[in-house]
């Protein structure tokens, strides 16, 4: 329990209705997806609950967040900001910590239609923002975690791939102006907003403080609280008079596909042909989506129930699927559509591919087009065992992504043979390209049973082996190389980068109150 005077100091800031230390409420924050994996990786018994916060506070404004952070500094209480929360990194690690739940800060502050950016608060979710943007013919880069999650969290604090990445890029590169409550309670405003109240860039004057904000992975909430962010927007490729229309009931709902949209699943016998096609399709800017997985992944994408997915796998996907790219041509005009679809077919033929949709091997329904752009498809992977997590994640070129996929197969198969993770014959990967093919990343979604100690331990061991492989084979840095111990393991062979991050932490969080568990502590670890 927090001391009475400390609890009351927080209560004074947010009011009695917006603070709690009820154990049941605290448990709801401590229960996070993948806690069982992190605890297993630490060498503990797999635990589905993380550390319970001592209190949860729900501020309604930046000023309230600032007061809370200042009170944390004064009373030596650690804090962790929480938006939509999905993973151990959303929870606290210190026994003397509070959770700052930002759910009351849920406003879309501004949509600048012409200059294509939106200013959002932390608890705006992808689905809401998307709905508000459609009337303007705009969309944002929504991260793969799904429509129920916070785009601010992804843009400011976490890795940010999504299904539309070839067209909308990566969260961390789409950030403009930012309002940021630093760990010492000062409010920093990045870029143009600090000078003229407009959010159109977050860089300068001179150096860009985005350089200490997040990096590639994001600081996972280890360096203060982001209270507003401007993010870039993109054209929604549909005619002006097209309306978002659905009918029916989830999971079998209907969705009106915009007129110049067409999905392809281009299948290539060998990785080499796949790779050449992926480079060319991405470079030519013909696709909004360029995603690769295993036959099981394809089944998960374009079905609505576990049973349907399994039936689809055995009805032909296993036999007829090799290395494929799910592509979505989404054009603004007929002229653009005809050019792009023609080019897609030419590239497919050039590299000896076939279209699994045209051949009836897989049949996405209209709703699956909608699920794709809503970034709902990642959630489909939970159907098999109620849980999955990804290993690897290194981001650089398409060639590296393919090499990772190839090398991963035998490692994964070893754990499949042990019966601790789902059997996808080691083929289960997820690849996407970014920014017209300039970058790509590969991760390996892997299903495990979160209720089985053996499965959790097995998955954890598999992830550790993947991390080691990436180090040894120069295959980039995986997604979850965070926290002091893991950083130490990686930084030794990566230019001791963590020493610099520790200096940043010390400079901006002198009292060490911003939860460092998935970032770094400010002092250098011996």
Q: 423-462: which residues touch other proteins (CB under 8 A)?
A: 435-439
**Does residue 251 interact with other proteins by CB under 8 A?**
no
**Does residue 155 interact with other proteins by CB under 8 A?**
no
DSSP 92: B
Half-sphere exposure of 515 (CA within 13 A, CB side): 25
The DSSP element (H or E) to which 366 belongs, if any, is: helix 366-373
Number of residues that bind other proteins (CB under 8 A): 104
Of the candidate spans 122-130, 301-309, 449-457, 498-506, the one that interacts with other proteins by CB under 8 A turns out to be 498-506
**Does residue 135 interact with other proteins by CB under 8 A?**
no
Among 86, 209, 315, 461, binds other proteins (CB under 8 A): 209
Q: Is 441 helix (H, G, I), strand (E, B) or coil?
A: strand
Site string for other proteins, 22-61 (x = CB under 8 A): ----------------------------------------
Among 229, 301, 477, 513, binds other proteins (CB under 8 A): 477
Of the candidate spans 20-28, 51-59, 291-299, 397-405, the one that interacts with other proteins by CB under 8 A turns out to be 397-405
**Does residue 350 interact with other proteins by CB under 8 A?**
yes
**Does residue 410 interact with other proteins by CB under 8 A?**
no
Of the candidate spans 25-33, 50-58, 174-182, 418-426, the one that interacts with other proteins by CB under 8 A turns out to be 174-182
**Does residue 187 interact with other proteins by CB under 8 A?**
yes
Give the nearer residue to other proteins in terms of CB position, either 260 or 388.
260
User: Which residues 6+ apart lie within 8 Å of 72 measured at CB?
Assistant: 78, 79, 98, 513
**Does residue 512 interact with other proteins by CB under 8 A?**
no
Among 3, 42, 63, 115, binds other proteins (CB under 8 A): 115
Place of tokens 């992190």: 38
**Does residue 330 interact with other proteins by CB under 8 A?**
no
Q: Taking the complex as a whole, how short is the minimal distance between the CB of residue 437 and other proteins, in angstroms?
A: 8
For 472, other C-beta atoms within 10 Å of its C-beta total 9
Place of tokens 């230019």: 495
Q: Taking the complex as a whole, how short is the minimal distance between the CB of residue 494 and other proteins, in angstroms?
A: 4
**Does residue 516 interact with other proteins by CB under 8 A?**
no
Q: In this structure, are residues 461 and 415 in contact, taking their beta carbons and an 8 Å threshold? A: yes
**Does residue 347 interact with other proteins by CB under 8 A?**
yes
**Does residue 336 interact with other proteins by CB under 8 A?**
yes
Q: Is 128 helix (H, G, I), strand (E, B) or coil?
A: helix
Cα–Cα distance, 84 to 97 (Å, whole number)? 19
**Does residue 335 interact with other proteins by CB under 8 A?**
yes
Tokens of 166: 């070839």
Among 454, 500, 523, 525, binds other proteins (CB under 8 A): 500
Give the nearer residue to other proteins in terms of CB position, either 129 or 361.
129
Cα–Cα distance, 52 to 384 (Å, whole number)? 29
Closest CA to 109 of 205, 193, 42, 37: 193
Q: Taking the complex as a whole, how short is the minimal distance between the CB of residue 294 and other proteins, in angstroms?
A: 21
**Does residue 129 interact with other proteins by CB under 8 A?**
no
**Does residue 228 interact with other proteins by CB under 8 A?**
no
Cα–Cα distance, 502 to 416 (Å, whole number)? 38
Q: Can you name the residues that pair with 27 across neighbouring β-strands?
A: none
Closest CA to 167 of 379, 432, 352, 351: 432
Half-sphere exposure of 155 (CA within 13 A, CB side): 35
**Does residue 242 interact with other proteins by CB under 8 A?**
no
Of the candidate spans 14-22, 81-89, 346-354, 367-375, the one that interacts with other proteins by CB under 8 A turns out to be 346-354
Of the candidate spans 142-150, 367-375, 376-384, 491-499, the one that interacts with other proteins by CB under 8 A turns out to be 491-499
DSSP 171: G
Cα–Cα distance, 167 to 83 (Å, whole number)? 26
Pairing of strands 246-249, 175-181: unpaired
Q: 270-329: which residues touch other proteins (CB under 8 A)?
A: 279-280, 283-285
**Does residue 343 interact with other proteins by CB under 8 A?**
yes
Closest CA to 201 of 224, 174, 225, 180: 174
Tokens of 269: 């016998």
Q: 374-393: which residues touch other proteins (CB under 8 A)?
A: none
Cα–Cα distance, 278 to 280 (Å, whole number)? 5
Tokens of 126: 């992808």
């Amino acid at each position: 329990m927090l001391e009475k005077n400390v609890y009351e100091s927080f209560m004074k800031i947010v009011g009695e209705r917006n603070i709690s230390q009820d154990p049941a409420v605290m448990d709801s924050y401590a229960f996070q997806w993948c806690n069982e994996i992190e605890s297993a990786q630490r060498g503990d018994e797999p635990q589905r609950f993380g550390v319970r916060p001592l209190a949860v506070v729900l501020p309604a404004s930046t000023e309230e967040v600032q007061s809370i952070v200042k009170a944390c500094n004064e009373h030596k209480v650690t804090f962790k900001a929480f938006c939509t929360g999905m993973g151990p990194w959303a929870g606290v690690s210190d026994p003397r910590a509070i959770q700052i739940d930002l759910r009351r800060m849920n406003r879309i502050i501004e949509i600048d239609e012409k200059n294509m950016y939106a200013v959002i608060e932390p608890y705006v979710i992808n689905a809401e923002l998307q709905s508000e943007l459609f009337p303007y013919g705009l969309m944002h880069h929504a991260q793969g975690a799904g429509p129920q999650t916070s785009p601010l969290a992804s843009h400011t604090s976490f890795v940010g791939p999504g299904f539309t990445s070839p067209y909308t890029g990566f969260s961390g590169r789409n950030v403009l102006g930012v309002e940021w409550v630093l760990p010492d309670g000062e409010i920093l405003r990045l870029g143009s907003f600090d000078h003229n109240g407009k959010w159109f860039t977050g860089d300068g004057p001179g150096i860009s403080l985005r350089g200490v904000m997040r990096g590639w992975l994001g600081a996972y909430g280890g360096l203060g609280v982001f209270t507003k962010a401007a993010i870039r927007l993109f054209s929604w490729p549909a005619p002006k008079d097209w309306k978002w229309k659905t009918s029916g009931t989830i999971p079998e709902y209907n969705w009106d596909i915009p007129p110049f949209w067409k999905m392809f699943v281009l299948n290539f016998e060998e990785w080499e042909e796949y790779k050449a096609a992926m480079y060319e399709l991405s470079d030519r800017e013909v696709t909004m989506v360029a995603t690769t997985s295993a036959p099981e992944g394809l089944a998960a994408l374009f079905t609505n129930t576990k049973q349907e997915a399994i039936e689809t796998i055995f009805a032909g996907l296993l036999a007829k699927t090799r290395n494929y790219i799910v592509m979505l041509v989404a054009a603004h005009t007929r002229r653009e559509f005809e050019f792009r679809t023609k080019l897609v077919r030419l590239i497919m033929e050039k590299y000896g591919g076939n279209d699994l949709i045209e051949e009836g091997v897989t049949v996405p329904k209209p709703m699956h087009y909608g699920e794709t752009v809503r970034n709902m498809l990642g959630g489909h992977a939970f159907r098999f065992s109620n849980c999955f997590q990804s290993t690897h994640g290194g981001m650089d070129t398409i060639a590296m992504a393919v090499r990772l996929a190839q090398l991963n197969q035998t490692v994964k198969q070893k754990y499949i043979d042990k019966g601790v993770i789902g059997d996808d014959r080691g083929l289960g990967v997820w690849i996407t390209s970014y920014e017209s093919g300039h970058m790509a990343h590969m991760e390996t979604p892997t299903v495990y049973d979160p209720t089985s100690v053996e499965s959790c331990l097995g998955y954890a061991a598999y992830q550790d082996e993947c991390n080691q492989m990436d180090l040894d084979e120069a295959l980039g840095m995986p997604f979850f190389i965070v926290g002091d111990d893991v950083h130490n393991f990686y930084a030794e062979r990566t230019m001791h980068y963590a020493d610099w991050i520790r200096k940043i932490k010390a400079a901006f969080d002198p009292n060490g109150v911003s939860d460092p568990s998935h970032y770094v502590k400010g002092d250098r670890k011996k």
